[in-house]
Amino acid sequence: MEQPRHLRGDRYRARRRQAVGRNQQGRHRADHSADKERSSGLHFHGGTAARYAGRTRRRIAGLRFGLTILGSNGAVPSASRYASGHLLHSESTDVLVDCGEGTQLRLQAAGASVGRISLILISHLHGDHYFGLPGLLTSLALSGRTAPLRILSPPGLRDRLAPLLELDRYGMPFPLEFIEHAADDMTLVAEVGELEVYAFPLRHRIVTNGYLLREKPRPATILKDMIEAHSIPYAAIPTIKQGSGYTTAEGRFIPHGELTAPAPPPRSYAYCSDTLYFPELSNYVQGVDLLYHEATFLHDMAVEAAEKGHATAHQAALVARNADVGQLILGHFSARYRNVDEHEREARAVFPASTAARDLYRFTVPFTERNSE
């Protein structure tokens, strides 16, 4: 498997570990306020200022990267736990990941702006992951949408939806593009806004894609004091940002690394539903900030889970630990469990930064940058 270039290297891993520490601190604080927030249906996770290379990092409001859980049940929806759906918020666009029955109602309940959605990712063609599409697409058409929309899924989705929506007879009032892809390795499948979208294979009863969404790398930040110290003209800054050094009027070469601070690490989120446990999955999701991994069952049902192509909370936590992720989010719970606290306890015994998703929970990954002071 070829990893994305920005996943490689010791420097990245060192920064990831710092980020993980931040998120875990954030988790503990979030725990104290969780009960209050549960009553409002919202649950926020976040980090705090941390130190990087001796310089202060700070949280910048507005550059958002967050996730809203739209549904956390597997197979059949219930009044309190809808079928699968996540909404990833980024600065310039939102991405909907799976669209189980009732997802558009959950989008309304979350206060989401459906017009911001430019890409829909469907993991596989079991109904609990895409039966919400006909209703959502119809509502988008009725709302007067004109912006293009892409839907990425394993093969076969368009053939199923076309008769229902009469796509070949009437089409939609906005450009609708189906991209059908069965991932057999980590593959870049789309770019949308500031995000790169990768697909990778899961192991389920039918062809199933996992997805990884990662911010595109940002350019390095030029250090103001270096601009002044070397009288660097404005025109030279773009090439320095792209990786060049600078030669002063006296002919002295200043390397790129001395002129700049490294860019903040790209934030990332991976979606793994539905799948049985397989240790190699950790390689695909190595170091992500938010990992969603299905936990249909508790571990006392590990045999049944594997037979059905599903995983347990314990197994999800093993993947999270081996992949050194920031936070683990569990979901796709079997309807046999009225309460999912035990899923959370089981996962935390292996990986402390684990949360059992509840519908309308929100998770955030703060943006940090080097302070110029």
Looking at the annotation, which residues are catalytic? 128
Burial 72-85 (b: 16+ CB within 10 A, else e): bbbbebeeebbbbb
For Zn ion, the closer of residues 7 and 207 by Cβ is 207
Going by the DSSP 8-state scheme, the letter that residue 233 receives in this structure is: -
d(CA 192, CA 352): 32
Q: Considering the complex, what minimum distance in angstroms separates the CB of residue 204 from Zn ion?
A: 5
Whether 274 has a binding-site annotation, put simply, is: yes
d(CA 351, CA 331): 15
For Zn ion, the closer of residues 195 and 298 by Cβ is 298
Q: Considering the complex, what minimum distance in angstroms separates the CB of residue 83 from Zn ion?
A: 8
Whether 86 has a binding-site annotation, put simply, is: no
Whether 126 has a binding-site annotation, put simply, is: yes
Whether 124 has a binding-site annotation, put simply, is: yes
For Zn ion, the closer of residues 46 and 201 by Cβ is 201
For Zn ion, the closer of residues 76 and 229 by Cβ is 76
Whether 225 has a binding-site annotation, put simply, is: no
User: CB under 8 Å, gap of 24 or more: what pairs does 15-22 form?
Assistant: 15/52, 15/265, 16/265, 16/287, 16/324, 16/326, 17/324, 18/50, 18/52, 19/47, 19/265, 19/289, 19/326, 20/324, 20/325, 20/326, 20/353, 21/50, 22/47, 22/48, 22/50, 22/366
Q: Considering the complex, what minimum distance in angstroms separates the CB of residue 98 from Zn ion?
A: 8
For Zn ion, the closer of residues 121 and 195 by Cβ is 121
- What size, in residues, is the chain? 373
Q: Considering the complex, what minimum distance in angstroms separates the CB of residue 141 from Zn ion?
A: 27
Going by the DSSP 8-state scheme, the letter that residue 41 receives in this structure is: T
Using the structure block, give the residue that is written with the tokens 């109904």. Answer: 127
CB neighbours of 182 closer than 8 A, spacing ≥ 6?
A: 154, 155, 201, 207, 209
Q: Considering the complex, what minimum distance in angstroms separates the CB of residue 78 from Zn ion?
A: 14
Using CB under 5 A, list all residues that contact Zn ion: 74, 126, 128, 274
d(CA 19, CA 35): 25
Q: Among all residues, whose Cβ is closest to Zn ion?
A: 126
Contact 67, 363 (CB under 8 A): yes
Which residues belong to the annotated binding site for Zn(2+)?
124, 126, 128-129, 204, 274, 332
Which residues belong to the annotated binding site?
124, 126, 128-129, 204, 274, 332
